[in-house]
Amino acid sequence: MSDKPKSHGRLSISASQQPRDLMTDTPRLKGAWTAKIITLFPEVFPGTLGASLTGKALQQGLWSLETIDLRPFGEGKHRNVDDTPYGGGAGMVLRPDVVSKALDQAAIGTQGKRWPMIYLSPRGKPFTQERAQDWADADGITLLCGRFEGVDERVLQEYDVEEVSLGDFVLTGGEIAAQALIDATVRLIPRVLGNQASTEDESFQHGLLEHPQYTKPKLWRDRDIPDVLLSGHHGEIAKWQKAMAERLTKQRRPDLWRAYCDANNRDPDEDQEL
């Protein structure tokens, strides 16, 4: 995690083509990690990001959100943003000249900063926890949400936009993916989760899935909890949790298990304790 000091508290001032509301629920604080989202549907943001811990942090200015509506950059009276694909086929494709204007607007204020530019796309590299950590350490991020059949290839190349995927399935648009990626990233920004320690032990943080969790009541429908968790013996508890995490990972995610064993000089076929 970056130990670079971030300032929180000073309101930022920047040029905008559109008049901005000075009294908003989400103050833009100078230096706060910012997600700029290019979308045809700005009204769906902050969406789930406005709830719970990410929402509270947004209101506190620990991070900020800026939507860039693609529609006003469209062509002609109807502000057309898309057209039919060359070569034929179903659907429409977002025009490069329209998307480029939105990317230019998003670039304002990012010069000299670490600011990844991402297109949400099923063709992209799958998103990972490691990626979320890397983005949390940046100054902010620009996310381009596709719709229809996607975006003209040339604008992605011209602006060196990287494609990132939420997984091997096809969504209707990039907005849900953008919210998922921002959620995973923002919760790693210091002070966003009340209890920082809670991100350190989670699934993927050490290349393993998380061990099972239990809470009250101690006995529920004849099901007890493992004795070791009541022992008060921190060493034994940690050992049990690690063994369970390893067992789960081996059973459910052979891909992660192999990578973990490689990194820790372990034999992936060795018998588990417990």
Closer CB to ligand SAH, residue 31 or residue 173?
173
What secondary structure does DSSP assign to 143-157, as a single string?
EEPP-TT-B-HHHHH
The sheet carrying 140-144 orders its strands as: 63-69, 33-39, 140-144, 117-126, 162-165
Residues 6+ apart with CB under 8 A from 8: 29, 31, 32, 60, 61, 62
Q: Is 150 in the site for ligand SAH (CB under 6 A)?
A: yes
Q: Give the range of 52-60, 139-147, 198-206, 239-247 binding ligand SAH by CB under 6 A.
A: 139-147
96 binds ligand SAH per the rule CB under 6 A: no
156 interacts with ligand SAH by CB under 6 A? no
* In the complex, least distance from residue 103 CB atom to ligand SAH, rounded to whole angstroms: 14
Torsions phi, psi of 43, nearest 5?
A: -70, -15
Q: Which stretch binds ligand SAH (CB under 6 A): 119-127, 200-208, 220-228, 239-247?
A: 119-127
Contact 206, 213 (CB under 8 A): no
Token pair for 62: 């620990």
The 3-state DSSP class for residue 83 equals strand
Choose the stretch contacting ligand SAH; rule: CB under 6 A; options: 39-47, 57-65, 172-180, 204-212: 172-180
**Given 171, 186, 192, 244, the residue binding ligand SAH (CB under 6 A):** 171
Contact between residue 36 and residue 141 where contact means Cβ atoms under 8 Å apart: yes
Give yes or no for residue 88 binding ligand SAH (CB under 6 A): no
CB neighbours of residue 109 within 10 Å: 16
- Binding part of the chain for ligand SAH, among 25-33, 116-124, 224-232, 241-249 by CB under 6 A, reads 116-124
Decide: is 174 part of the binding site for ligand SAH (CB under 6 A).
Answer: yes
Q: Which of 61, 140, 146, 207 binds ligand SAH (CB under 6 A)?
A: 146
Q: Please report, as ranges, the residues that interact with ligand SAH according to CB under 6 A.
A: 120-123, 145-147, 149-150, 165-167, 169-171, 173-174, 177
